[in-house]
Structure 1
């Protein structure tokens, strides 16, 4: 009985200790929550003592919407209206200038806020920093496909912005080579296989490989490839037109940059490098990857791709007016003629990039790709805007008129998507294929409606926006 009582006492003490610990934990969590709430609602001057970042050393008195002449002693606030960076507040160093960057939208009306940054994919008409004051800059960062937000690709919307960083080489900060690390990566022989070995592998592999899991995009690439498959063997590892399996550990999309995946692709003679949209300068890893691996890309995408190729004969550029059968016959002829095939790899063998435009771009661009010794392009974009804000502040202090930056139509543009007229196998068809042209046409009306509403310079609701769209 004494042993039993001791066990009961021990169990009681254990439960009581756990209960007390739970109460203490809940109290601590509640206090932390109160502290967090107080931190986010506290005036900026009080928060500075906690963050060690003083965004506003001085609080100039403003008599109207213009920036105070004494503002240069403080830091301009630049708000990411799209929360791309996730940073609640950071004092950024941009050469001799500093700006306070934040995703906190409550800074919208702060007198020191001078610029708003937008990420194109997240650009929403339902939430814009309106009214827009005359001195406030709008800047757009958009490196992705037009299908993510078609309305940005029309003159009425793109020209609402002062500064741009897009895949177009015409933009203020061109990101055309965003998927290419360096000249060294392009000319490296790390994955290059001897042609004799590729010829030997042709006993088990097709001459052409295709890897896509984003099926039926605006470029209509899958329909072209499906027709091409009727005339030449193609190993398709992705979900689109799938006919061959990758090893299990490489089937996830996150494995597309694994060396073992590269080694599989490097065994082929040709890679179908088809973009999801057809726009000048919209060039992704689909082109650069085969060039880095020593495989000849069969490229369908940017109509001006020749501007960016490492040499005049480094890729087979698909002419959409050319039939897939004609392309297949050409690939078959190269597959059988080693000397002719190797002319597409001559630049790689010699490690020579003869295209001076590409050479100059990679040497002189202000940002790096997968390089910790260089700034990334988001930081460079932020500093471009910061420095331009400071330039106008300094001009104002000197009694000069502000400099005006303005995005132009060709900073982000793309023609309407077109469908190929080949017969489509119903089992492989997708309802997505037919939405892109309608989506594009609708986006033209959306762009005009959005511009009209923004120029009225007052807040509007989603209902008002759509009413404007459908009365266009």
Structure 2
């Protein structure tokens, strides 16, 4: 009885110590980022002092009421609070409107400054443009995985912003198709390998291929694939579950978009297209790549993926509650049945995209991907904010009430990360598999604390933030 109590006590102490370490590492990381940010700000201020007169000459002061017109030489200032563009000063044309864009934070004090732009991955609580004046707009650009900054994915934080450009189709500027160049690349047969040749290649290749080097992400995909590999042969070229080597000239991660790499993948029947996080509309090249190549994607990720597939029968969608063994049985059946397998490639062979939502999104999209004839999504995001600012400037001139914009909770939203409950073999001690759910739960407290402090509308220290986080 005493030995059992001792074991229980040791177990509890281990759990407590683990939690303490997670929090400690997070705090240290946040503090380190803060120090780097202060250094960057110091350098930016130095640049600003060196070009002060030039920049002042570029943008005549606009008063707080916003008087001035595009043709009159006075322009609103929009500050990238996250230095995404690296531009110390640029007068940008947005149709009939012009705004001055800069990463120089000293423009926080400029009377013409109307908006602050944030890049989600670099969004930090330690340095915010506070106090936030009534005419200050906050805009968020975040196209990346939730694991990069979980705080943003909770209502208390996302609703602090007036304008959004995120992967959610609910945002003001949806970036859901950010990894898809065009409809033509989906229809293209540039890499298409006929089934008869794929069948011959099966003598040396597995039916399924997996290429991932970001191991143990929030989606827990490696756990699923590890189990799947016990029931069907999978060639894994990436660092995660690696069992097959690429040619030497393709081993570098920068070769992932090279033709030689594409031609290797195109020889397979199935590609495991598992996202690193499971959120509606979070869709990356993992889905589009096999569709472009003419390989059937076995997809796990966005629950609403059917909203974006070229046709209903263009991918095998993994159900999280379905066992890897059952999926393996289905893939084996398709591998042995040409007629059934080809139903998944019928749209590709005919070059027919039947999904009206995808067609409408791609034809109506205002930005391009790897297309020098179109603006980038960052450019369009900047201009969206610029045009909205000018809309309110003109409304004030006409004696009208300015419009207001605010993000909704669904502009950036993901459910808590979950793990698969399959029996696991030994895993690496460096595995991050167990940290994502605690990190998500911790981020809810951080989001609440940040909202409270932002509503007070004055600067706060790192210590004040963490004190508020743990005040409950």
Tell whether the structures are fold-level matches, with TM greater than 0.5: yes
Deviation per residue, 1:300-345 (Å, 9 max, x gap): 0000000000001000000001100000000000000000000000
Which residue in the other structure is 1:67 paired with?
A: 65
**Partners of 1:471 and 1:308 in 2: how far apart?**
43
Which residue in the other structure is 2:376 paired with?
A: 376
Contact 2:45 2:106 in 1 (8 A): no
Which residue in the other structure is 1:419 paired with?
A: 419
> Between Structure 1 and Structure 2, whose CA radius of gyration is higher?
1
Which residue in the other structure is 1:47 paired with?
A: 54
Q: Judging changes above 3 Å, is the alpha-carbon distance between structure 1 residues 259 and 113 closer, same or farther for their aligned structure 2 residues?
A: same
> How much has 1:48 moved relative to structure 2?
4.5
Contact 1:67 1:112 in 2 (8 A): no
Contact 1:177 1:283 in 2 (8 A): yes
**Partners of 2:85 and 2:309 in 1: how far apart?**
32
**Partners of 1:225 and 1:133 in 2: how far apart?**
50
Q: Judging changes above 3 Å, is the alpha-carbon distance between structure 1 residues 392 and 265 closer, same or farther for their aligned structure 2 residues?
A: same
**Partners of 2:431 and 2:276 in 1: how far apart?**
16
CA RMSD of aligned residues (A): 1.6
Match of 1:420, SS state, is coil
Which residue in the other structure is 1:14 paired with?
A: none
Whether 1:458 aligns to 2:465 is: no
**Partners of 1:122 and 1:134 in 2: how far apart?**
24
**Partners of 1:421 and 1:38 in 2: how far apart?**
54
Which residue in the other structure is 2:183 paired with?
A: 183
The residue correspondences of 1:315-464 to structure 2 (distance < 5 A) are 315-428=315-428, 430-464=430-464
Deviation per residue, 1:134-185 (Å, 9 max, x gap): 0110000000000000000000000000000000000000000000000100
Match of 1:282, SS state, is coil
Whether 1:143 aligns to 2:150 is: no
**Partners of 2:69 and 2:192 in 1: how far apart?**
57
Q: Judging changes above 3 Å, is the alpha-carbon distance between structure 1 residues 359 and 222 closer, same or farther for their aligned structure 2 residues?
A: same
**Partners of 1:272 and 1:185 in 2: how far apart?**
20
Contact 2:68 2:75 in 1 (8 A): no
**Partners of 1:241 and 1:362 in 2: how far apart?**
35
Contact 1:241 1:428 in 2 (8 A): no
Match of 1:139, SS state, is strand
> How much has 1:91 moved relative to structure 2?
0.2
Which residue in the other structure is 2:124 paired with?
A: 124
Equivalent residue pairs, number: 427
Match of 2:93, SS state, is strand
Match of 1:78, SS state, is strand
Which residue in the other structure is 1:271 paired with?
A: 271
Which residue in the other structure is 1:15 paired with?
A: none
Which residue in the other structure is 1:211 paired with?
A: 211
Q: Judging changes above 3 Å, is the alpha-carbon distance between structure 1 residues 199 and 122 closer, same or farther for their aligned structure 2 residues?
A: same
Q: Judging changes above 3 Å, is the alpha-carbon distance between structure 1 residues 312 and 381 closer, same or farther for their aligned structure 2 residues?
A: same
Match of 2:193, SS state, is coil
Contact 1:145 1:276 in 2 (8 A): yes
Contact 1:216 1:430 in 2 (8 A): no
**Partners of 1:411 and 1:40 in 2: how far apart?**
34
Which residue in the other structure is 2:29 paired with?
A: none
Structure 2, gaps ≥5 residues long: 1-43
Structure 1, gaps ≥5 residues long: 1-35
Q: TM-score, normalised by structure 1?
A: 0.88
Moved over 6 A (4+): 36-39
